[in-house]
Structure 1
Amino acid sequence: MPRLLLLLAFLSGFNALAQPSKADAAPPKTDAASPTLALGSVEKDPVSTCLACHMDQEPKAIPKGSPFAPVLPRYYSAEWYYYNVRSETPPPYDRTPDTDTKGHGVTHYDWDRKAMIEIYEDVCVNRFPSGHKFPCRFLHVGDKAYYMTFEKSAYAEPKSCCLVLEPPFYAVRPDFVSLNMKYQKSMPLDHKDADWWLLDVHYPSRYFGYGFDRKTREPIAFWYRVLDGWGQQTFYNLRKERPDPSVFAIPAMCQQAKLCKTTRASP
């Protein structure tokens, strides 16, 4: 997921896959009217680590029958529930979290088009100092990732739009698990056997994890740090069908989008 998460999610030590350092470049221009994204501080920057998952390269071949490194379908659509869990205990949890902050959403993914969209229909991910009780979208098209907010409906015209990261920043690669995540443990979720993977960063309370159904090898949930605890998205109704290209349409407001403003915040 992008700089605010993960995201979505949403993934320093990947050398050849890393984007060139821009420490000596002029600061990129940001949109003064853009929402502000809060960034966590970590020992091994998860933002940099995550970039390897978002490069425009063909996925590596995974040995047949391998019990590790699950691979996302090249295209799919899935529904999910988002939960904001206020707890000192990090995920994964063995059952759907009990919380008063939750919402429904949809993900459409098409690696052949280098496109992905996450639609938060009720509440957004809680990484924003200005709040999260509004619908939002994260849209990847080509080498750009857009963040959109909405007044009431995530299917209306956006209220605001900005670029999460400076391009290039592609949709997550199908083989992102094999790039910089490590196997954590096996633990069921809602009575489904699941294998859990952890982003390989040096961070005391952990930062981002992903679970896959052990039988089907399909994504079952992922979790990440938010401002007041943890966010977890639990998938259901995953369909291995190519999404209609129209779901990846870039709204007019986003055509000239600038970088989102950012702030550094302790997770």
Structure 2
Amino acid sequence: MVEMQSAFREMEASLTAEALGVEEGPVATWTQMATDWEADADSPNPFEMVRKDDHLAKVRHDLAVEAATRERDGIEDMDAVRDGMHVTEVIAMGLQLEEQQRTLRFDASAAGLHPTKDQSRTMVERTSKMRRKILAWIDIQRGFFPVVDSLRAREDHARAQIAKTQPIPGVQAYDIALWMPSAIAKAPGWARRQRPKLLDDAVDHEYRLRVGQANEALDEMRRNLLVRTYLYNLKDAYSRGVRDNM
């Protein structure tokens, strides 16, 4: 409980007006709304959702419709389609791989130092499968952004230089850099000069897809918080004794 309170205070401090560089921070605004609503039920309810944000499926649908419209009108960037696949599909696949990498990293760390033979076998199989999927995706990505080969070569060179002074293990499948469009855009200038229009469009597509991912994650957090609150209230009202509250 103390850790949760500390984390909450840190999060709240990061949303102040000073931290965000605005006149009034969202915490102060929401707190005032809650105070007004408690004093007058006719005031706007701060707990009520005022809009429904687009989730990942909706964003992918919108991107597909927009791409189809551009192709129909003959204004689609020629570099945006390779071998029957649109760049938005490649980005969506990359985001899925990122999520799978995070899951694999968490599961690998949760296995501990002494996993069972079955756990070890499962992890090896999952890691090998993940590596194959990433390599297949990289082959597709290369058709849209050839510059990633140079960026990965620079990574390999830097890793080799480090290996000269200290032993390091091979790169795990969940640590392989995917070089999404936003990462390419942050690379040195020579990397951004190749197919600049496609890169700019891809960065925008990636941003919209990530916002959809974030909205889904926030909705899931809200649902989990509502369920937990309901269970706490249920136990508080109707449960007695140690066993019922475990």
TM range (shorter): under 0.3
Q: Which structure shows the higher strand fraction?
A: 1
Who wins on radius of gyration, i.e. which is larger?
Answer: 2
TM-score of the aligned structures, taking structure 1 as reference length: 0.21
Q: Which structure shows the higher helix fraction?
A: 2
TM-score of the aligned structures, taking structure 2 as reference length: 0.23
